[in-house]
Every structure is written in structure tokens, then in C-alpha cells.
Structure 1
Amino acid sequence: MTRFARSQAARLSLALLTLSISTALHAQSAPAPTASDWGGIGLLQTPTARMADEGELAFTASHTSPYSRYNMVLQPLPWLEGAFRYVSVANRRYGPEWLSGTQNYKDKSIDVKVRLLEESHWIPELAVGFRDLGGTGLFSSEYLVASKRMGPFDASAGLATGYIGNRGDFRNPLTSIDDRFETRPRAQGTGSLNSDGMFRGPVGVFGGVAYQTPWDALQLKLEYDGNDYKHEPQGNNQHQKSPFNVGASYAVNNNVHLHLGWERGDLAMFGITLRTNLAQASSMAKVLDPLPMPLKQRPATAVAESEHDTNVVTELFDWSGVANQLEQNAGLRVQSISRRGSELIVTGEQRRFYYPAQGVGRMGRILDGALTDDITWFTVQNARLGVPIVETSIERKALVDYIEHKTDLSTLAGHIEMAPPAAQRRETLYSAPLRRFDGGFNIGYQQSLGGPDGFVLFQVAGTYTASAYLARNLWLSGTVSYNAYNNYDKFRYDAPSRLPRVRTNIRRYMTAEDLTLPNLQVTGTRQLARDTYGMVYAGLLESMYAGAGGEVLYRPLNERWAVGVEANWVKQRDFDQRFSFRDYSVATGHASFYYMWGEDRRVVTALSAGRYLAKDWGATLAVSRAFDNGVTMGAYATKTDVSSKDFGEGSFDKGIYVSVPFDFLLPRSTRARANFAWNPLYRDGGARLARSYGLYQMTSERDPEFFFDNLQTIDD
């Protein structure tokens, strides 16, 4: 069949699909967006212009011989879909048998889809997308797709260059601008951005329709595939009996979808999607938390306290008992309690409740039940790592009225003030003794994905972390780790490197000793000025490096920006992670600018520029979506003066990450977080020191928006 004939057949097929839709409409709801074989929202092999709900995180595994796809998809913004995946190619080996055994080849890739137009009565939803944007480029493709709902049908049609449009139905119109768009260069498999091949090569037509059946759980799909599978990567061309694919998605429940299909005319497809919405996640019932303390019992007509009672409050009161209650019930480890007129100020560190408003509410209940009525304002001066961060003041009557349902949340918000810690004259009522020691056991886990040695290499370790305090803002901390199990003995491929091996010796660090000392350092912090903080540290800073350094951060309260600088001199540790060292040393450091964008949606960017561990110079850009409940989804990329050739596979350092409060998952309140990060490769270029503490994270409560976004927790 000639290219012209194929093009006519494609147009005729889409016309027949549209005609069948227009004759079958009835009053059923439109089909909900579901995952394609490639994880992103789509039909089977092809994408649509639809997006998942904001905040969704989904994992989709699918198989169509010879490809098995494992996809993680994030929806950080309503108009932005991001995905990363591994494709296992069953009939290709990853490497020589001595290295990879019988492991199938694993291709790594990143996708991005951006919505350009929202659907209206006459206008379809329109999106542009990039498949395999930041991976090897073996499956790279660029596309423009439109989707329109009509009753129970959702029809899509699109144009693509690259893999999705490999059928090549017509010549690329961009050749009228430059002849180089006529052909698409072959993927080099380096992990770059594939920019040389973008929008090049013939254009393929694709499209199809999703149908929502009367059975709410079942959705049917019909698709015209834009790929003829005659130009598969690695010369792995496949037979296609028909360009039409059919399939079904069945929702077992809101979190689990099953997928079946018949593709290329003679192959079965199987898939499953596990999904959740992190933006809508909330804490599980805290059955192990103590109940909030009751408010003070008040008579029907309030009677003012006498001056004699006031003196009792300030002179004879059991402040030690109040401090103990504040820690046990409100999670506030008290450093001091003071008074300024009718305001009581508690200085301490919140160690239990993730949402600051929840700790403030519980503090208010305790103080209200304990104090006389001449105290009309409660203030908590929140400290972190030994330095004051922010003062939050709440009017006592407003809090009581809200808890007793006499006023609403917006009214209460008008009686709360947040300010930088103030150096004001106060009457000190209580000073808590310094707790000299903290410590506890934990379980450590780390992994490497997608290497030629094995798809998942991991270590499970038992750890003990402790801190000995010389002062509130000066302490010695360390971690002892014992390897419980790891399979890093399979890790035989260190990869060639033209740079100093600052990270690619990880296999030797993981396997040299079972009992290790990953960290042992002295740290000091200080508030240098009203909005300026400093930190110094020295010792065994991480598993691979020891040395000394410092950081300064300027972060004004109620501002969306902050600037900081950190500088370090470090020496590479020996593989046993004890007290011996290797010859390599480097001075490294960065200047950073942080900015938070958006009113309804917060997007935090961090741009850091400086010198990296391999003595390369460059910059790192990290962008993350911060949801109201504390979940973050983000991505980062680092580019330095190291060439792509010298960097090696991957061309530059990049990755994505998700951070979720553990508070969602446990029956007891906690400030800990679960962090998932995906970095496709361990390379030496763009590598930074992994520090235990950072000032921007330490001062996170200088973000009043997070406090007020979760103000409803003040009565929990």
C-alpha cells in the first residue's frame, strides 16, 4: 500500500469512528480518564488530551509482547502530567551473560504532557506531549492530540512524529521551514533530552474513542494506532495484522483498575493500575494519640479574676507540670515560659504534630484550663534545631469560642497573628532543664533501580541514631547501621567514568562492611538576625564524605523568596565507612535562590549554582508542587560544565521525587515523612554533598500559608 493510500485509509477510519459516535449518543455520563498501556491518561497505545485529577499518583504495569511496561505517573498540576517508566524488552538481553545473566533489557524514560486548551461546548480539549523525553530516546515521540466528549463517548484524534506516528501517513509540514525535519535521526540511547530529533520525521495519524457502558465500572476502547511497528528500536520490528486495537478498563474500586486489550490484530494486552490522590489524602484516625485536653469550666456569667489570683499564676503556679502536659498532649517540648502583660509566651519545639495549627490548638486548650482569665493571648515561639523560627499568637477568647462552636474558622483566623521571633522584655516564669540525650532505633532502606546487574538492588539495615546536646543549638549526632540484608553482591557494573569517582563507587560502599558509621558530626545553629540563620558542622557528614562546612540563609517571614549559601571542604571516606579516608578531597558549595509561585497552587522552585563533588561547575533547578496537606511532587535537573560524553550515560543528572507525611499512614501523630526519589543512574557529574540538616527545611514554618491552609486541624 502506498503512503497516499495509507493516509486515505487513516482518514476514512477516523471518519467512520466519528460517524459511529454521532449515531449512538444517549444520556450516559462521559467516560472517566483512564490509563493507557504507557501509564499516562489515554486509550491503549495512544494518548488522549485528558488529564487525571490534580494530585493523582498512579502505577500502571502492562504487557504486550515483547514489551512489559512499568509506569509511575504524577499529576502535580491540573494541566501537567509527568511520568517515568521502565520498559522490559523480553527478546533482548541487558548485557553480557557474565554481567546481567538472563535479565531482559530495561529502557528508562520520562514523559511530559501539557494541556493547551480546556474543553468547551464547541472547542475540544487540546494537549501537546513528549514521550521518552529524558530517557534513552528509543521510544521517543512528540504529539498533538484533541479530545471531545459526546454523551457516553470521548473521541480523540492526534498527530505524532516519532514512535507514536511511525506509520508516517504524510510528510512533515515543517520541512517547508527546514529540510532537516524530513528525516528523524536514530536514537543514540544516551539519556539526553533527545532535542535533536524532536518533531522530525514523517507524521502519523492516531485516534480513537472510549465508551462508558451502562455498567459504571466498565469502559470500552477502540483505537487506531499510529505506529506500524516496522521501525522498532534495536531492530526489534513486530508484525501488525491490523492497525485497530480494542480494549476494556474495569474499575475494581477507586484505587484499582484492570485493563485488557487485543492489539496489532493478534496480541493480547494485560494491565493493572494502582492509583491514589495524594492531594486529597488526610490523616487516618489517631487512636494512639491522647485526647485533647478539655477547656476551662466557665460559669454562665464570667467573673473577673482578682489581682491576688494573678500573682498566684505568676509566682506559685506549677509551671513544670504545665510544661510536661504541653509535651505529652500538645507535642511541644518546652524550653521556657514567659509573660508580657496579658500574653503568655511558650518557647519550645513541636516534635509530634505535623500541622502547626494542631499543636497550637492543643497548647491553647492546656493553657486555658490551667490559667486565670487575666491571660488573654497565648503565643508559641516555635524553635527548630535550637533556634527560634516564628511566633504564633492566638486570642484566647477567639479560640474558646471556636472550640465551643460559637464562631467559625474564618473569624478565628482573624484573631491569629504570626511574626518573627521578637527580642522583647518578658518576665521569665519557667526555664526547662536541657535534655542531654535523644536516641532511637529505626529501619533503613535504600535501592537502585534498572541497572544491568539487576532490576532492583536494595539494602535493608537496622539503624540507631542518637544526639548528645552540649547546648540547645549545639549537638553531636550520629548513626550506626548494621546491614540486615542486601543484594548488592549482584552489583558488578561500576560504569566507565571520565570524572573522579565521587558516587559510582557505591557498590563498594554498600558491600565492604556490615557494621558502618554513616554519620557522626557536630552541628551548631544560630539566629544571626531577625530573618537570617546560620549553621556550621564538621565530622563524618555522610557515608562517602567527611569534612566541615557552613550555611547561611536569609528568609523573611511572609515573603515568597529566600536566599542562601553553603560552603564545604570534604574528603572522601574509605569504603568501610569507619574512620579511614581515601586521597580525594574537594571544596564544594552552592548559592541558592528559593521562590514560591502561585496563590491557589504553590509551586516551589530552588535554583542552586556552584561547584559539585567532581569539581565540576554548574546549576541545579528543582521544581515541586506543594499541596495544602503537605504532600510534594517534584523534579530536578543538574547541568554542569562536564560534556555529555564525559558525563556518560544519561548526559546530565536528573530525577523526580514524591514526599508524603507519615502522618497519613500511622495511628499516632508524627512529623516524619516518607520520601520516594527516582534517579535513573548513579553518575559522578552534578553530584552534591548529602547533608543531614538544611536551613531552608529547618525554617519551613516561616510559611504562614501552610499554617492557615490547615487551620481546621486546630481543634483535633
Structure 2
Amino acid sequence: MIPSLRTPAARLALAALSLSISSALYAQNAPAPTASDWGGIGLLQTPTARMADEGELAFTASHTSPYSRYNIVLQPLPWMEGAFRYVSVANRRYGPEWLSGNQNYKDKSIDLKIRLLQESRWVPEVSAGFRDLGGTGLFSSEYLVASKRMGAFDASLGLATGYIGNRGDFRNPLTSIDDRFETRPKAQGTGSLNSDGMFRGPVGVFGGVAYQTPWEPLQLKLEYDGNDYKHEPQQNNQRQRSPFNVGATYAVNKNVHLHLGWERGDLAMFGVTLRTNLAQASSMPKLLDPPPVPLRQRKDADEAVGASESLAASAPVDWASVANQLDQNAGLRVQRISQRGSEVIVSGEQRRFYYPAQGLGRTARILDGKLPSDISWFTVQNTRLGMPIVETSIERESFVDHLEHKTELSSLAGHIEMTPPAAQYRETLYQAPPHRFDGAFNIGYQQSLGGPDGFVLFQVAGTYSANVYLSRNLWLSGTVSYNAYNNYDKFRYDAPSRLPRVRTNLRQYMTTEDLTLPSLQLTGTRRLGRDLYGMAYAGLLESMYAGVGGEVLYRPLNERWAVGVEANWVKQRDFDQRLSFRDYSVATGHASFYYMWGEERRIVSALSAGRYLAKDWGATLAVSRAFDNGVTMGAYATKTDVSSKDFGEGSFDKGIYVSVPFDFLLPRSTRARANFLWSPLYRDGGARVGHTYSLYQATSERDPEFFFDNLDAISK
């Protein structure tokens, strides 16, 4: 006989059953955020409010006929997701056969998603986003979505205008404000910012649930699609037998995910995601680096060297040998070694170690083994481009105590000082002979993506770069390049331009000659004041332009801001990249303001305003997230007085970039960086001249935060 639910025993049994079910649900992990078909975190066709871990970089390729999507997604901040993609449309051709052959149409787009609310016990996670924000607008959409975890389930529900909500389940409530929100204008496919159509048109409902199975690598997804595929771009409407999509994500490992799905009721989807977290990246073992110099035995070394009042009065030190050891083991190319009281100062350029603390630690080890005990401070004056940038001083006893595990790293930090290079008398102990020449062979690579001539156009070249130093502040640098292979012969489409062709003659520069001289620049630098730096240059500044120019930068030490001015007069080089020129010349220049935002997370912004190569006036804003380990993720946009019509497809210049220290990738320490830039279009508006050096980059060690963020490298 079943007891009534009104009895205490029944209510107790029901409560116990509910508690056991709830405990079972919450005992299983919630589904981890995974990629959608569109690359961003989501279900299949639709986004969720979830975000990847901060610093994640992911590539997702997926196919659902007739669309193949190639997405790169960045997570620069815990509350911001950015993506760019190419969509290949199998049943549409890019252009006429003479130009594109049988290449499928490629659509370019940029996405942005912002978290508005973070999930709590009762409140769901809420995010707003824009799909195809800065591309052609063919797939543009705006959405608001909420997600809530319930044990092994993560449910999402959202509203969208545009592509994601094309079913149009109800009238746009914004029509009560303005009737123009009733209809959505047709995308023009020009690559402009799609502001005219934002939040316009009917609203569609979408949502679904992700389920984390007991088998940890497998996650299942069920989705209600907000698009009915009856209003596809280019009149490419598709049949939809069902608005419900089902799929699965299988984690091969933490870096590789496989995706399978059944969409629109009758179509298979398959995809793969390759992911890594750049913020958590660290250097691989440096098997090719020399080991750090071991600490000296304190008592024996003191007796051997003896106490003295001045190094000049003590037993002779083979300073040339010390300088050589600093170069070979600490990566410091010494210019001068001097003394002031109980402090020894080494002035030179760090050429090997990416993290300044590591170079300082190795330098201090070497000096500790060579100098008598009355020297209590070691100082390294870091120079760059022949100019002193910053002096970093470390107390000898505290450094030794830390290496001998007597003090914590936090204690050592209190015995390190960073100051502007001092203008004070110091007794010179050693002056290095002038260094006259550097040279190295390398492999050069450049590419263009997404053009109608071919999806990937690229060049691989062998290069030889060299510097000839006339003095420490005056040198000649140049690069010779030989084309090993390129497919730019397919580049037949010179986009129409109403501006001087300052950049769109790329094909001619890439194909006219195999042996070229991309740069040959004479550069002079000078420290003009305590925080003021100057640079002048002349010659073949880059592959397309030669001329003269200069830059001045004011960057106070330990400040978040800097200001700079750059001015150039340049003449366009001939297509053979030798010593001949074309008729076009222009005076160009910019004033720039740099600022670093945030305490826990550093956001570096640079606003530059001035005249560009096509004689247009405007401004460029670049914003990047700088992680503690040196990785940066950023984006830029340039808008000038050139109209969208005159600029051509794209309306304005923009791009996304990632910069990663090569130190993560190689078994030998290096200061080089791997830079990836994606700019959807190559146009003449908003173009700036390139040259070999930048004062803001050269003075980057004036940021003590980066030094102390990586202070643990001091013992390596």
C-alpha cells in the first residue's frame, strides 16, 4: 500500500529521494565549454554564454554542406571572446573563371562576444555577441544568450536578430522605438562595419543543452536552431527538415577535440578543434643553452681574492675574460664595466634571454664568482639600439641567499631596484672594443589569405641580414632576399582603387624579380634626456618605399604612458626592389599616445593620428592584451578621411594579431618573436610606411612589471 504524501514518512522519503537525485546530478562534472561549428564557444550552430579559459587560442574547421568554416578564436580576457573566419561556400564561385578558376566563394568575418553576468547559484551566465561584425555582413547577427549549469547539464537560451534568428519567431520589440527596426537591410558584402543592420529585423529564439557523459572525453549536445535557412546569403536557401540539431564532442586530449553532428534533420556535420592556452605557455627545456655558472664557495673564494677597498687596488681581474663569459653565458654583449663605491655596473645589450630577470641572474652569478666580497651591489645597465634604457641593481647577499634557498623570491624582490640610467661619475674598469658586424642567414615567409585569385598566396625566401656598426649609435642594416618559391603568379586581381596605389601593387613587387634588396637603412640613435629618446634613419626603409625619417619618444620609467612623434618623407620604389624609383612621393607622419590599463591584467593601447601613405588623414587605434609571459593578443582599426566608396571593399583598415616569444618553441633561448597578423583586405587607405626599428619596442624594458612578473627566471 502506497502511503499518502501527506504523512511525515512519505514527505521524508520524498525529500531523501530528491536529495539523492540532486546529489547524483551535481556529483558529475558540468560540461566544459567547447567550440561550435562557428569556432566560438557554443553548441552547434548557436552560441552559449560560456567562455574559454583566458589566453586560449583555438582553430576550428567544420563542414555542413554547403558551408566549410575555418575559424580562429582568441580569448584575450576572461569576459571577451574574439574570432575571425573564412566560410567557403561550395555551390558558389568566387569570381569569373579567368580569375578564380573553380575556387569556391570565400566569406570573411569577425566576431565578438562579451560576458555581461557571471553565473552564480541562482543567476545564469549572460553574454551578448556579434557575429560577422566587421566582415561582409552576409552572416551577420546579434544575440543575447543565458546559460545555467545543472549538474552534468548546461542549458542555454537566447534571442537573436539576423542570421542566427532568421526564423523570426516574433516581432522586434525595438519597433516601439523606431519603425526601422522592423526590417533588416540586405547585407552588401563590402566588408564594412555592419552598424546599419544591427538589432534590426524579426527576433528568433535559439537554445539547447550540453550533457557531460560519465565517460569524461565525450560530451553530447542538443540544440534548437534559430535559423530556418530560408533567407540564406546569395539566395543560397537550404532545406531544413527539423530545427533540432544533435551532436557530440570527443576530446582526444586537452588540445584536440573532434565534433560530429546531425543538422537540419538530414545533414552530417564534422569538425575538429586544435587549441592551446598561450597565457599558460612556458619555455621548453633549453637543452642548447650553457648551464648557469654555479655559485662560488664563499669562504674559499673570499680568502683567495682577499678584502680590498677598491677593485682597481685588488688583484688584477681579466676583464676581457669576464666580458666574454657574460656574452657566452649571460647573453650580455658588454660595452663597459665600471665601479662606484661598493657597486659594479655592467653596461651592455641583452641579446639572448627574453626574460630580463634571467639575464640579470646569470650576470650576477658570474660577477659573484669574480669579484671580492666588498662589492655588495651588481647593476646591469641595459642598452638597446645603442641607448641606455634602464639600470637594474641587485643586492649581492640577498641574491646569494635566494639561490641557496635561505630566502623567498618575494624577499629578493625587495632588494632589486630599477632606475633610469644614471648621469654620474663612475670609474671605468673595462671598455669593450667596438663591435663592427653582425650577420645571419634566415628563412623568410609571407602570405596573403582569402583573395579571389587563390585562398593562400605565399612566398618562401632565403634571406641574409647584416648590420655594420659605424659607432654604437650609428649603423647600417640591410637584407638581401632570394625567392625560393611563391605562387603570386596566380595574383591577377588588382582591386579597383580611387586612391594612389600605395599598397595594392603587391603582385608586381612579389613577382618582378627573384633577387631583391628589401631594406638598406642607415640608423642613428641618441638618448636626448632622462626619459627622452630619438632616432633618425634613411635609405631603403621597406620593400615598397625609401626615404628619410625620424622618431622621438618620451617614456618615463615605471609609468603607464608614453608619447611619440614620427615624421617621414618617402618615395615609392620600383617593382624590382633594387635602387630605382617610381614617381610617387609623400610626406607622412604620426603622433602617438601609448597607455597601459589594468593592474591584474595589462591592456596596452596605442592611438596614432596623422597622415598616411595615400595622403589621407586619420587615426589608428590598436589594443592588445599583454600576458605575464610576454604573449600578446590584439586588434587594430584605422579610419581616415577617405570615404568608404573611395577606400573600396572593407571601408576601413582593420586586423587581428598574435605575438608569441620564440623562446617557448626552441631548445635555445632567444629574444625573437613569432608574429601573426590577419588583415582581411589589402587596400591603399590607412597605409603606413614600415621601417626596421621602433622606439616604443626598443624601450620595452622600461616596464618593470614585466621584469617582476617573471622574477622566478632569475635562478635559471
Q: CA deviation at 1:509?
A: 0.1
- Matched residue, 2:677: 677
Q: CA deviation at 1:300?
A: 9.3
Q: Verify the 8 A CA contact 2:379 2:393 in the aligned structure 1.
A: yes
Q: Which runs of 5+ in 1 are unaligned?
A: 1-20
Q: Give the secondary-structure state (helix, strand or coil) at the position aligned to 1:229.
A: coil
Q: Give the secondary-structure state (helix, strand or coil) at the position aligned to 1:669.
A: coil
CA distance in 2, matches of 1:179, 1:308: 88
CA distance in 2, matches of 1:223, 1:503: 45
- Matched residue, 1:80: 80
Q: CA deviation at 1:690?
A: 1.2
Q: Give the secondary-structure state (helix, strand or coil) at the position aligned to 1:195.
A: coil
In the alignment, residue 262 of structure 2 is paired with which amino acid?
Answer: W
- Matched residue, 1:17: none
Q: CA deviation at 1:47?
A: 0.1
1:596 aligns with 2:587: no
Q: Verify the 8 A CA contact 1:355 1:713 in the aligned structure 2.
A: yes
CA distance in 1, matches of 2:559, 2:322: 34
- Matched residue, 2:426: 426
Q: CA deviation at 1:313?
A: 6.4
Q: CA deviation at 1:435?
A: 1.1
- Matched residue, 2:5: none
In the alignment, residue 174 of structure 1 is paired with which amino acid?
Answer: L
CA distance in 2, matches of 1:303, 1:462: 55
Q: TM-score, normalised by structure 1?
A: 0.96
The alignment covers a number of residue pairs equal to 696
- Matched residue, 1:295: 295
In the alignment, residue 319 of structure 1 is paired with which amino acid?
Answer: W
CA distance in 1, matches of 2:313, 2:473: 30
Q: Verify the 8 A CA contact 2:308 2:374 in the aligned structure 1.
A: no
- Matched residue, 2:234: 234
**1:196-215 Cα shifts (integer Å, max 9, x gaps):** 00000000000000000000
- Matched residue, 1:553: 553
- Matched residue, 1:180: 180
Q: Verify the 8 A CA contact 2:307 2:372 in the aligned structure 1.
A: no
Q: Equivalences for 1:391-540 in 2 at 5 Å?
A: 391-540=391-540
- Matched residue, 1:646: 646
- Matched residue, 2:8: none
Q: Verify the 8 A CA contact 1:314 1:429 in the aligned structure 2.
A: no
In the alignment, residue 96 of structure 1 is paired with which amino acid?
Answer: P
Q: Give the secondary-structure state (helix, strand or coil) at the position aligned to 2:27.
A: coil
CA distance in 1, matches of 2:310, 2:27: 71
CA distance in 1, matches of 2:514, 2:79: 47
CA distance in 2, matches of 1:256, 1:308: 62
Q: Verify the 8 A CA contact 1:313 1:371 in the aligned structure 2.
A: no
**1:332-383 Cα shifts (integer Å, max 9, x gaps):** 0000000000000000000000000000000000000111001000000000
CA distance in 1, matches of 2:314, 2:621: 52
In the alignment, residue 277 of structure 1 is paired with which amino acid?
Answer: N
**1:643-681 Cα shifts (integer Å, max 9, x gaps):** 000000000000000000000000000000000000111
- Matched residue, 1:13: none
Q: Verify the 8 A CA contact 1:133 1:193 in the aligned structure 2.
A: yes
In the alignment, residue 405 of structure 2 is paired with which amino acid?
Answer: H
Q: Give the secondary-structure state (helix, strand or coil) at the position aligned to 1:359.
A: helix
1:132 aligns with 2:159: no
- Matched residue, 1:4: none
CA separation of 1:301 and 1:100: change in aligned 2, threshold 3 A: closer
- Matched residue, 2:632: 632
CA distance in 2, matches of 1:581, 1:23: 77
Q: Verify the 8 A CA contact 2:302 2:373 in the aligned structure 1.
A: no
Q: Equivalences for 1:198-217 in 2 at 5 Å?
A: 198-217=198-217
Q: Give the secondary-structure state (helix, strand or coil) at the position aligned to 1:197.
A: coil
- Matched residue, 1:10: none
- Matched residue, 2:263: 263
Q: CA deviation at 1:629?
A: 0.1
Q: Give the secondary-structure state (helix, strand or coil) at the position aligned to 2:337.
A: strand
Q: CA deviation at 1:25?
A: 3.5
Q: CA deviation at 1:691?
A: 1.4
Percent identity of equivalent pairs:
85
- Matched residue, 1:37: 37
Q: CA deviation at 1:317?
A: 1.1
CA distance in 2, matches of 1:463, 1:317: 41
CA distance in 1, matches of 2:301, 2:640: 71
Q: Verify the 8 A CA contact 1:444 1:462 in the aligned structure 2.
A: yes
Q: Verify the 8 A CA contact 1:57 1:275 in the aligned structure 2.
A: yes
CA separation of 1:301 and 1:451: change in aligned 2, threshold 3 A: closer
Q: Verify the 8 A CA contact 2:475 2:524 in the aligned structure 1.
A: yes
CA distance in 1, matches of 2:295, 2:425: 29
1:105 aligns with 2:84: no
Q: CA deviation at 1:299?
A: 2.8
CA distance in 1, matches of 2:247, 2:564: 53
Q: CA deviation at 1:27?
A: 2.1
Q: Equivalences for 1:318-357 in 2 at 5 Å?
A: 318-357=318-357
- Matched residue, 2:565: 565
- Matched residue, 1:362: 362
Q: Verify the 8 A CA contact 1:309 1:372 in the aligned structure 2.
A: no
**1:24-59 Cα shifts (integer Å, max 9, x gaps):** 945210000000000000000000000000000000
- Matched residue, 2:14: none
CA separation of 1:363 and 1:145: change in aligned 2, threshold 3 A: same
CA distance in 1, matches of 2:186, 2:106: 19
1:189 aligns with 2:189: yes
Q: CA deviation at 1:312?
A: 5.9
In the alignment, residue 358 of structure 1 is paired with which amino acid?
Answer: Q
Q: Verify the 8 A CA contact 1:313 1:372 in the aligned structure 2.
A: no
Task: Supply the RMSD in Å over aligned alpha carbons.
Answer: 1.4
- Matched residue, 2:243: 243
Q: Verify the 8 A CA contact 2:130 2:140 in the aligned structure 1.
A: yes
CA distance in 1, matches of 2:149, 2:649: 43
Q: Give the secondary-structure state (helix, strand or coil) at the position aligned to 2:204.
A: strand
CA distance in 2, matches of 1:50, 1:71: 17
CA distance in 2, matches of 1:556, 1:366: 31
Q: CA deviation at 1:296?
A: 1.5
CA distance in 2, matches of 1:191, 1:314: 72
**1:142-166 Cα shifts (integer Å, max 9, x gaps):** 0000000000000000000000000
Q: Verify the 8 A CA contact 1:607 1:622 in the aligned structure 2.
A: yes
- Matched residue, 2:622: 622
Larger mean CA deviation between 653-662 and 23-32 belongs to: 23-32
Q: Equivalences for 1:10-21 in 2 at 5 Å?
A: none
CA distance in 2, matches of 1:23, 1:337: 68
CA separation of 1:452 and 1:383: change in aligned 2, threshold 3 A: same
**1:245-285 Cα shifts (integer Å, max 9, x gaps):** 00000000000000000000000000000000000000000
CA separation of 1:297 and 1:88: change in aligned 2, threshold 3 A: same
